[in-house]
Amino acid sequence: MKRMLTGIKPTGKLTLGNYIGAIKPCLDYQDDYEMFIFIANQHAITINIDPKELKQNTKDLITLYLASGLDPNKVTLFLQSDVPAHAQLGWAMTCHAYMGELNRMTQYKDKCAKGETNLTAGLFTYPALMAADILLYDADYVPVGVDQKQHVELTRTLAERFNNRYGEVFRVPDPLISKVGAKIYSLQDPTKKMSKSEDNPKGTINLLDEPSVARKKIMSAVTDSYANLVYDPEKQPGLANLMQILSVITGEAIESIADRFNGKGYGELKKEVGDAVYELLSGLQARYHEIQNSGIVEEILAQGAAKASVIADRKVAKIYRKLGFKLFKK
């Protein structure tokens, strides 16, 4: 069975975009791959975040993943900070990454372009830690959104550089990008990604929003003035965004949705999307509260960290021997 790894930062409230772009693919893959999912809390502190907020975000994130249908018997779920090998290999990867490579990474480059100051060294070097996250587990595939593909490309570059210098150590992973729904856009500005940090709260649906509030956000979503209900992401991005949301939630092909609504009004599509989102959130939140009150999250994380550590520690030991850190055979 091929191995897959993915992580998510607990830096904000999970959105419908996160569900469609990150959580839903994990649910689809967990039966077909050996899945490792980690909560990237070490990546989270590359920005200024209150520890209490980070702690609550992390608990919510894990509980929402489980409430969405993630099966801890099929998936290894753990905190990045509970497996020290991530930081250990992260330093080795940092020492093999070139400044120019890190400087081209989107997150750092975008913040520089906006004129932001006091950017941390951690923000600059975090792609090297991300490479370590992946390479520790010899992952075959990394499911990513379109905007994260460059991080997997850097990971591949670092793996090949390391292998060429020290001998075969790392498996070179491939990115896996979902064709539908990998990137969901703002309901108020469909040219921008739906984000945890969106300025307009009407543009984002949080997974813990009241279902009725989420439905209202769908009904007020920006579309266009063409009065022509077709799937055209370039000319009608708002409409295409709604169709993508409906397609991922219901499993109906976008072509089928477009055919069904051909000749109908935008309001009819919005109503169906709103109803689908309402049902999704209602069920999700009921399971969220059930898991929250069960006390099982701590046990799941402990078991996940124990399993991940066995694999990660073995990999670090091998790398340390290659680097000349191990002085004596054991």
* End-to-end CA, the chain: 31
Q: Which of 183, 193, 217, 270 is catalytic?
A: 193
> Measured between alpha carbons, how far is 82 from 322 in angstroms, rounded to an integer?
25
Q: Phi then psi for 227, rounded to 5 degrees?
A: 55, 35
Q: Which of 111, 149, 192, 307 is catalytic?
A: 111
Query: 68 CB contacts (<8 Å, ≥6 apart)?
Result: 19, 23, 24, 27, 284, 287
Classify residue 110 as exposed, middle or buried by CB count within 10 Å of its CB (0-12, 13-18, 19+): exposed
264 appears as a binding residue in the annotation? no
Helix 211-219 to helix 266-292 angle (10° resolution) is 160
Q: Phi then psi for 7, rounded to 5 degrees?
A: -140, 160
Residue 158 banded pLDDT, cuts 50, 70, 90:
very high
Helices and strands per DSSP (H, E), number in the chain:
14, 5
197 appears as a binding residue in the annotation? yes
Q: Which of 59, 149, 192, 196 is catalytic?
A: 196
262 appears as a binding residue in the annotation? no
217 is catalytic: no
217 appears as a binding residue in the annotation? no
Mean pLDDT value of segment 301-319: 98
Residue 183 banded pLDDT, cuts 50, 70, 90:
confident
Tokens of 246: 């409906």
326 is catalytic: no
Residue 330 banded pLDDT, cuts 50, 70, 90:
low
Residue 106 banded pLDDT, cuts 50, 70, 90:
confident
Residue 21 banded pLDDT, cuts 50, 70, 90:
confident
Q: Is the pLDDT of residue 46 over 60?
A: yes
Q: Is the pLDDT of residue 181 over 60?
A: no
Neighbouring CB atoms inside 10 A of 117's CB total 6
196 is catalytic: yes
Domains of the chain: 3-182+295-323 (3.40.50.620), 211-289 (1.10.240.10)
Tokens 């897959």 — which residue?
4
pLDDT of residue 255: 93
